[in-house]
């Protein structure tokens, strides 16, 4: 896995995603709340799933070849799921029912392979994770409101 990649060619698998991007105190939270009221939208309010991921010990160790992909997957599973559940609880009751540890682990295993770059792995993982929300909550679009990772 490599950390650097030209991100201009990254494409998500669908046109069903909406990103709310803005600086602090610019109204992104209220816009996210407005979106969350729409019956066709599931919103991930600042999940920060990958904020600083490149600086985490597990990613650094993986890039340096100090740990195996299996150890990396194990280290990431619980932290990512906890952030996701916290984000979804703002809009839904009991999201943990739909994002079991096994479900999240299967998405991580599918995404973080020795053949994917880190960027490809993250895109694959986000596609899997967010489209799971669209599927289980019977929505047409997903919104990520995460200005912190865009600054």
Kindly report, residue by residue over 8-18, the tens digit of the pLDDT.
555 555 567 78
- The confidence band for 108, taking pLDDT boundaries of 50, 70 and 90, is confident
Nearest to 35, CA basis, from 13, 18, 15, 14: 18
Cα distance between residue 106 and residue 103, in whole Å: 5
- The phi, psi pair for 106, rounded to 5°, reads -65, -35
Taking 3-state DSSP, the helix, strand and coil percentages for the chain, each rounded to the nearest 5, stand at 50, 10, 40
CA dihedral 88, 106, 144, 15 (to 10 degrees): -130
With pLDDT > 70 as the criterion, what percentage of the chain qualifies? 74
3-state SS, residue 8 = helix
Most confidently modeled of 67-81, 87-101, 131-145? 131-145
DSSP labels for 20-42? E---TTSSHHHHHHHHHTSTTEE
Cα distance between residue 19 and residue 121, in whole Å: 19
Q: Is the pLDDT of residue 58 over 50?
A: yes
- The confidence band for 4, taking pLDDT boundaries of 50, 70 and 90, is very low
Helices (H), 64-117: 69-88, 101-111
């Amino acid at each position: 896995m490599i950390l650097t990649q030209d991100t201009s060619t990254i494409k998500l698998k669908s046109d069903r995603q909406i990103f709310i991007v803005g600086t602090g105190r610019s109204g992104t939270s209220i816009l996210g709340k407005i979106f969350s009221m729409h019956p066709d939208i599931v919103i991930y309010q600042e999940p920060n799933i990958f904020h600083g991921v490149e600086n985490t010990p597990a990613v650094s160790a993986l890039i340096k070849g100090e740990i195996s992909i299996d150890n990396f997957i194990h280290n990431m599973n619980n932290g990512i799921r906890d952030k996701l559940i916290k984000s979804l609880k703002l809009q839904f009751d009991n999201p943990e029912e739909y994002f079991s540890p096994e479900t999240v682990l299967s998405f991580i295993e599918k995404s973080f392979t020795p053949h994917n770059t880190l960027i490809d792995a993250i895109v694959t993982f986000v596609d899997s994770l967010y489209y799971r929300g669209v599927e289980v909550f019977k929505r047409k679009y997903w919104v990520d409101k995460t200005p912190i990772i865009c600054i």
